[in-house]
Amino acid sequence: MKFYSLNNHNIQASFKEAVIAGIAPDKGLYFPESITPLPADFFENIEKLSNHEIAFKAIHQFVNEDIPDEALKDIIANTLDFDFPVVEIEENIATLELFHGPTMAFKDVGARFMANCLGYFSQGEKQDVTVLVATSGDTGGAVANGFLGVDGVKVVILYPSGKVSEIQEKQLTTLGQNIEAMEVKGVFDDCQRMVKTAFLDNEITDHKKLTSANSINVARWLPQLFYFLFAYKQAKSKGKEIVFSVPSGNFGNICAGMVAQKLGMPAKHFVASTNVNDVVPKFMANGVYEPMSSVATISNAMDVGDPSNFVRIRHLHQDDLKTLQQHLSSYSFTDNDTKKIMKEVYSQTGYMLDPHGAVGYLGVREYQKSHPNTYGIFLETAHPVKFLDVVEETLGLSPEIPSQIIKVMDKEKKSHKISSYEELKQYLITT
């Protein structure tokens, strides 16, 4: 299968080429040339399949020309070695817990899948690949953990100084080996802008092979469709139309869910739940896309003012607003809304939401006001402990610290502080 640039469909690449390049030479995101629905009996009998079998069948058409079946099975086994439970919170509302991986965030799936793909592709290569990635929170830790020690791959992570949680920062700045952290004076959008600029800078790319591990990269983005299928497998027996509410920042996660829908997953609708960075809710209401400077919130991983993957979502729906509105609703919520629902859900059910999952929960409730006979699944994208200060302040209690977190808390932070693109460029050229 070929992947084409969304800016120019004549620019095409294989899966391997798209993964290694990260972004097309014209700055466009790569998109698969076709999405062939899976056979009806796949969904009819999905309860009988293991998660590894589901993932293999779902991703096969996108990668099979570059990754042999046995190698793909190994990659999936190395990626999916933890659980993805659907936990019912109340009648007709459940959460898909995506925090049972090594860094306790949903991005473990995409980061590990991509790391394993790059590890496979780099076998026998003479030139190292440098993975350049911007993070607003959880991407950095997941990428650092997924790529740690991978032969032939170096990782440079840019993150906004003072705008990620202490635990998130520890997870991306303490590993060493082939992982370097760049602490940027600015916001996530500044980090993302630097990454995109570096990819198009010939003075860097003429002697260094760059790729991205943000969700702009097809190997980070596509495998996120796996856990929507795992959730459908668990919720199918409810016998109700399923709606997914996804806390959304860069919109790669919800876009992957929509690819699962294109594969035939019988999900009725998607809800993009955002914080006050509300570019997409406004677009869904008036059809005008106006990027904004990102605003800092307690759900910091969603503080994105120009979500990269929304162009993929529009393309999936022929860039037609009415078609998109049939499959997507989008609502924004304030920090006060988020804290209030965290308190309410904990007091009524004993379930502890993180500030991102809380926004997802709010999206389900909003959608169900007009669609009450649906089964809403919101994504709990990270463990509450990763946002310890917010949880402690809001709920007045401290969650138990899991072992995955304890092991990084006492490690020494190491980062390079930069405030301009030129500083990043000099680092990349000279190292």
Query: Residues 103, 106, 112, 118: is their CA dihedral positive or negative?
Result: negative
pLDDT at 204 over 80: yes
The pLDDT mean for the chain works out to 93
Q: Are strands 153-160 and 129-134 parallel, antiparallel or unpaired?
A: parallel
Give the torsion sign (CA, 114, 119, 122, 128).
Answer: positive
> Distance (Å, rounded) from C-alpha 237 to C-alpha 252?
28
Is residue 260 over pLDDT 70? yes
Average pLDDT over every residue of 81-107: 95
For position 135, what pLDDT does the model report? 85
Mean per-residue pLDDT for 216-225? 95
Lookup: tokens for 304: 């994105």
Q: 334-374, pLDDT tens digit by residue?
A: 999 999 999 999 999 999 999 999 999 999 999 999 999 99
pLDDT tens per residue, range 376-397: 999 999 999 888 889 999 999 8
90 vs 398, higher pLDDT? 90
Question: Tokens for 396?
Answer: 């007045």
Q: Quick check: 124 pLDDT over 80?
A: no
Tell me the average pLDDT across 201-222. 89
Residue 370, Cβ density class (10 Å: 0-12 exposed, 13-18 middle, ≥19 buried): exposed
Tell me which residue has tokens 């699962």: 260
CATH of the structural domain 83-104+220-399, one choice from 3.40.50.1100, 3.30.390.50, 3.20.20.70, 3.40.50.10300: 3.40.50.1100
Band (126; pLDDT cuts 50, 70, 90): low
Nearest by Cα to 93 from 357, 377, 329:
377
pLDDT value at residue 51: 98
Task: For residue range 163-188, list pLDDT tens digits in order.
Answer: 888 888 888 888 888 999 999 999 88
Domain limits of the chain?
83-104+220-399
**Longest pairwise C-alpha distance within the chain:** 59
Q: Which residues are part of the catalytic machinery?
A: 107
Contact 255, 312 (CB under 8 A): yes
